[in-house]
Amino acid sequence: MKGFRLERLQSELYKVLYSVFNGEISDNRISGISITKVKLSPDLSLLKVYFSDYNQQIPLEKILELLNRSSGFIKKQIAGANIMRTIPQIVFQYDKTNERVGKMDELFRIIAEEKRNNNYYDDDRDNVYYDDDELEDEDFEDYEEYTDDLDEDLDFDYEEIEEDEDDNSKK
How far from chain centre, in Å, is Cα 2?
Answer: 28
Q: Which domains does the chain have, with CATH numbers?
A: 3-95 (3.30.300.20), 132-170 (no CATH)
What are the tens digits of pLDDT across the range 141-156? 555 565 555 555 555 5
3-state SS, residue 124:
coil
Q: Which secondary-structure segment (H or E) carries 151?
A: helix 140-154
Put simply, whether the predicted model's pTM sits higher than 0.85 gets the answer no
Angle among Cα 26, 66, 98 to the nearest 5 degrees reads 100
Q: Which of the four pLDDT bands, split at 50, 70 and 90, describes residue 75?
A: very high
